[in-house]
Amino acid sequence: MSNISLSNRQKRIAEIVRQDGPITGEHIAERLNVTRAALRSDLAILVMSGILDARPKVGYYFTGKNTLGMLMEEISGICVRDIQSVPIGIHNDKSAYDAVVTMFLEDIGTVFVVGDNSTLLGVVSRKDLLKTAINKGADLQNIPIVMVMTPLSKLIVTKPEESVATAARRLIDNEIDCMPVVKTINEEKHCYEVVGRITKTNFTRLLVDLAEGKGGIYHS
């Protein structure tokens, strides 16, 4: 039973007991604005799973999983598709200046360079554009975006079905701020369609939502 998946209410109960235990079932019910009877099955599951224990005339107290363990259990069921943002792309026939304008208008730090049918060709970051702009005589309006971008062969990507934990680790290990979320069109030719983007902001928002007890919005 230790790997049982908990409902949002069961997680709230566990957190209440962790913070304020020992606490009686009646007091837990008051905190959640429900009847004691409504919590009977939830409390039974939490006791059987080893998260809580109970003593007569004392109440429930926290004994098993810590909050970090519960958080990791929640995160393990969330995929990239659940937190990804809408991708912002620019066609490969545009200039470096067009990329600057797109970043400014969309308030983003990375633009995906795409071909026809949203096929991913490369990525341009603020750093890429800055390095180009400081070159003597550089004219961003006349520099093709393909001359500035990081090409597909060097890109780090993720897929919609990948776990957020795996994607976050890839982002950290490669010291990047954003990854394209792609769907494979042709594996042998490394041809991908861009379907989203995932950034450090997406992961930060996820952690805040989980801390505020909103983890259920990521599960159908």
pLDDT at 135: 85
The pLDDT of residue 159 is 95
With CA atoms as reference, report the closest residue to 63 among 72, 55, 71: 55
The per-residue pLDDT for 2 is 42
In a 3-state reduction of DSSP, which class is residue 77? coil
- Cα 101 to Cα 98, 111, 134: the distances in Å are 5, 11, 17
Total residues found in the chain within this entry: 220
Residue 51: helix, strand or coil by DSSP?
coil
pLDDT in tens, the chain (220 residues): 344 567 888 888 988 998 888 999 999 999 999 998 989 888 988 887 778 888 888 899 888 655 555 566 667 778 999 999 999 999 999 999 999 999 999 999 999 999 988 899 999 999 999 999 888 878 899 999 999 999 999 999 999 999 998 999 999 999 998 999 999 998 877 899 999 999 999 998 888 887 666 666 676 5
Q: Which among 124, 55, 142, 58 has a CA at the least distance from the CA of 88?
A: 124
pLDDT at 117: 84
Q: Where are the beta strands (DSSP E) in 25-119?
A: 52-55, 59-62, 89-91, 110-114
Domains and CATH numbers, the chain: 8-73 (1.10.10.10), 80-207 (3.10.580.10)
- pTM equals 0.68
Q: What is the pLDDT of residue 213?
A: 62
Angstrom distance (rounded) from CA 7 to CA 211: 15
pLDDT of residue 138: 82
With b for 16 or more beta-carbon neighbours within 10 A and e for fewer, the 74-102 pattern comes to bbeebbbbbbbeebbbbebebbbbbbbeb
